[in-house]
Chain A
């Protein structure tokens, strides 16, 4: 029987990074995982940590409770969202005071029962640990034979104590997946550098400079493309690549793919099923 997971949409994927959602919904079920849309969901709280941490934890906890009420484990494809949810789950388990405050409010205001017992997966651990490389390899029809740089994104790997999908300093699950679908990849010094995404709120120029510098480093190191697993990364490295290029005064033109789009191509999905027409970086020069 297929494993069922509640798909938590988050803000950025579900309101603009549609290519990630499309490729997830068209690729993951091929691996015997049924994705269930959740109702009543909201933001995970991560974007307003700087404003109010209690609000952040309430938002995270309410989405966990919503999935829990369906009796399902959760798949949260956004790295910031995944961190906010897993961290809050830990914090409410470790602090009686916090737990009482948030749980009471959830019940009182929205009638939600919070237990904090479900598992919360991200794209990286869902593909690597639950589906596994062997199953992915078996389905490959058209290997993606490009040189692909893996960009994990800050919140995919940090911080360890919150329970992340891969190791903080030497993550390699994405690389293993890239190799499994026929790609070539290697470590590069800038691998753990930030895309600048969260900085757009207060320091636009600096954020775009960070995105530009990361893209330039990847291009200079001889990669053909970048694989990403976070919608903030999609926003910055794909959606705002032109702006990032002009900010640092360079020509970039680096194709950026969601990892789920690359797997989709490898297992024979059509580009439009994977939302590849929505990528604004020059992915057409490879596909």
Chain B
């Protein structure tokens, strides 16, 4: 019995790890097992200083099969999605996209969606955009909207019902 077996015994998440690797492959991203923990991702991470995100630790966890631990932690929601980790990884790994997938799982498991994501999603499902055109104030507190500025009206999906039904059907499918 070696150390890998011990990990598997204490945290039997081999299936989840396989599923993660499968989903990454669909997106054209390599298996996290190739990560050699150089921590270049963490050294450049935009969320490291303020929010203590350490992408290389995330990679270490998923590589050793501790998926659920990461998927349920708040830390994956601190990722800004700046893609520096993906850009700079010498092994062509993508911590940012590992976190996107795990956040997708978190949401699919029915847990409440953090922050304002619920509003963004609601906006898209009901209008097609994250928000409706806002009336904005200039420095003199004068109000402006698209029409007053001479901009054409914003166009929306022509058939909102089929647009929404496409999205809700996809939400129930696996990547």
Contact = CB atoms under 8 A, between A and B. Distances in A.
Nearest to B131: A15
Nearest to B96: A159
Interface in A12-63: 12, 14-16, 18, 21-22, 25, 37-43, 47-55, 58-59
B170 A18 contact: no
Contact of A202 (B28, B114, B128): B114
A48 B124 contact: yes
B27 A53 contact: yes
Given A11-B130, A58-B170, A193-B46, A53 B100 contact: yes
Contact of B86 (A25, A106, A159, A193): A159
Given A50-B117, A206-B51, A278-B144, A40 B155 contact: yes
- Give the interface size class of chain A: 35 or more
Interface of A: 9, 11-12, 14-16, 18, 21-22, 25, 37-43, 47-55, 58-59, 90-91, 94-95, 97-98, 101, 105-106, 108-110, 154-155, 158-160, 168-169, 192-194, 196, 198-203, 206, 209-210, 275, 277-278, 280, 284
A49 B100 contact: yes
- Give the interface size class of chain B: 35 or more
Interface stretch (B3-11, B33-41, B54-62, B161-169): B161-169
Contacts of A50: 77, 81, 100, 103-104, 107, 117
A15 B169 contact: no
Given A110-B162, A158-B87, A194 B80 contact: yes
- Select the residue from A18, A209, A280, A284 with max chain B CB neighbours within 10 A: A18
A194 B46 contact: yes
A51 B134 contact: no
B144 A18 contact: yes
A280 B144 CA distance: 13
Contacts of A105: 166, 169-170
Contacts of A42: 124, 128-129, 156-157, 163
Given A14-B133, A194-B80, A199-B47, A22 B163 contact: no
B1 interface: no
Q: Which 9 A-B pairs have the closest CB atoms?
A: A202-B115, A42-B128, A109-B166, A158-B83, A154-B82, A50-B103, A54-B170, A39-B155, A194-B46
A122 to B, nearest CB: 15
Given A15-B131, A15-B154, A59 B27 contact: no
B132 interface: yes
